[in-house]
Chains A and B, each alone.
Chain A
């Protein structure tokens, strides 16, 4: 009985330390580096709205890495895609100023 108890203790300790024949202990968490991407800060009304509304779902570099100087039609289509296909929470009154900011800054 004593030997069984000793064995049970060893096994419990081994399990607690992850040293069993089952799947060994692995890093169970992942830490991402802090976000660093920024948007061009301008006086456009749309700059503040872009910061507030577009960063809900993704980082700023989704915007800043797009091909440069694509113009208003491109950015209007992108914002429209975000709203209609991805369900972006951008209230209708703010969409045009966001497009204007993106088209002028990028």
Chain B
């Protein structure tokens, strides 16, 4: 058993700083955390419908989940779920009776659907991880600009809604359709800023799994997670999971806008990576999640009691499902199997646990997941200029005494 006080004050855990920060010229935060990278101090702030979360930015709001939440269970509670926006003109007033979803473009019958209309269609549920493309960006070395996230821009929820396929079938997709364009209620502050609009290839949009969700873990979507309706794209990075979705347009071309053609692009190779500090020759749009795993019950730097030690955590990938999660306590020389928990779905967090004997001394615990498609986490971190898709084998240092 580890020292709980050490757990709370540990570098990777939750540290409540006293009011009156030591940093010169900075406003004191009543409560803050120290994320384990340079310039990693963040205030903890309560937003309506949310427990205190790690505040990255306030306008628009971007909030990270404190990492200890991921040890509470496979499902991330709604009040702890991370928040990401691009544009500061986020919706502030929505009448759910007046809200409409427009389906237009290359369809036989354009539709205007109310929430009531959508909820009258056959509902479907899926448990799926939503992860920000730039989750863990602040761990990149050399550092890259952008949202300086720790590992908290991810979450797993049971999403309920209607399949996008059912809605598109009702409208009748015309022959020659190539993509489905997704738009939400949020807007840029200045007209010159490209509106946040994304597209999915039409076959993907109609695969029966992509969903328009109105509920998350049995309740309405929290406001900041896209109330009253959002797109759910199981297995894909969060950039496609359009929040407050109110406009879907079928087009017979590829969407040519900033957010598809310039932003959210990864190197076009096996590892989606380039040598640190360099630029890729060719890029493709970011797509499916890569395999990841984490230890959730021991923070980096934890002081523990020598002997039998419970180690547990989560693993996930882009939708093949987890085949195994292995643990090493000797720097990756040898690996032992862990026991996988119940599978809530191939797109869900998969819990895992094991008990290992740790003699007194310092140990580096490493966890490595392999997916059912054979994808395995790399031992060395991969680098790309935008700071996307980090999935290196994670290491937690503990001191046993």
Using a CB–CB distance below 8 Å, which chain A residues touch chain B? 22-23, 26-33, 35-38, 40-41, 56-59, 61-62, 65-68, 70, 74, 77-78, 85-89
Q: Which of A28, A40, A57 contacts B93 (CB 8 A)?
A: A28
Q: A67-B143, A87-B190 are in contact. Are A22 and B58 (CB under 8 A)?
A: no
B27 on the interface (CB 8 Å rule)?
A: yes
A38 and B56: CB pair below 8 A? Answer: no
Which B residues from 42 to 60 make CB contacts under 8 A with A?
A: 42-43, 45-48, 55-60
In the bound complex, residues from chain A placing their C-beta under 8 Å from that of B27 are 36, 38
Q: A22-B116, A56-B189, A67-B39 are in contact. Are A29 and B93 (CB under 8 A)?
A: yes
B175 on the interface (CB 8 Å rule)?
A: no
A67 and B116: CB pair below 8 A? Answer: no
In the bound complex, residues from chain A placing their C-beta under 8 Å from that of B258 are 85
> Please, how many angstroms separate the alpha-carbon atoms of A18 and B9 in the complex?
48
> Please, how many angstroms separate the alpha-carbon atoms of A68 and B97 in the complex?
47
In the bound complex, residues from chain B placing their C-beta under 8 Å from that of A58 are 57, 59-60, 88, 189
A65 and B57: CB pair below 8 A? Answer: yes
B262 on the interface (CB 8 Å rule)?
A: yes
B275 on the interface (CB 8 Å rule)?
A: no
> Please, how many angstroms separate the alpha-carbon atoms of A28 and B190 in the complex?
25
Sampled A-B contacts (6; CB under 8 Å): A29-B94, A33-B46, A65-B147, A66-B145, A68-B38, A86-B193
B91 and A30: CB pair below 8 A? Answer: yes
In the bound complex, residues from chain B placing their C-beta under 8 Å from that of A40 are 25
A89 and B60: CB pair below 8 A? Answer: no
> Please, how many angstroms separate the alpha-carbon atoms of A27 and B220 in the complex?
11
In the bound complex, residues from chain B placing their C-beta under 8 Å from that of A74 are 145
- Interface residue SS majority, chain B: loop
In the bound complex, residues from chain A placing their C-beta under 8 Å from that of B223 are 27, 30
Closest CB pairs A-B (n = 7): A87-B192, A67-B143, A59-B59, A30-B223, A68-B39, A59-B58, A57-B189
> Please, how many angstroms separate the alpha-carbon atoms of A78 and B145 in the complex?
8
> Please, how many angstroms separate the alpha-carbon atoms of A56 and B190 in the complex?
8
A28 and B94: CB pair below 8 A? Answer: yes
Question: Closest residue to A21 on the B side, CB-wise?
Answer: B116
**Besides A32-B47, A57-B193, A88-B192, 4 new A-B residue pairs in contact (Cβ under 8 A), listed by A number:** A30-B91, A32-B59, A35-B58, A61-B58
Q: Which of A29, A56, A65, A70 contacts B56 (CB 8 A)?
A: A65
B222 to chain A, nearest CB (A): 10
B348 on the interface (CB 8 Å rule)?
A: no
In the bound complex, residues from chain B placing their C-beta under 8 Å from that of A70 are 143, 145
B26 on the interface (CB 8 Å rule)?
A: yes
Q: Which of A23, A32, A68 contacts B115 (CB 8 A)?
A: A23
> Please, how many angstroms separate the alpha-carbon atoms of A71 and B27 in the complex?
24
Question: Closest residue to B37 on the A side, CB-wise?
Answer: A67
Q: A67-B38, A85-B258, A86-B192 are in contact. Are A61 and B92 (CB under 8 A)?
A: no
B345 on the interface (CB 8 Å rule)?
A: no
Chain A proximity mask over B89-118: 1 for CB below 8 Å, otherwise 0? 001111111000000000000000001100
In the bound complex, residues from chain B placing their C-beta under 8 Å from that of A85 are 194, 258, 262
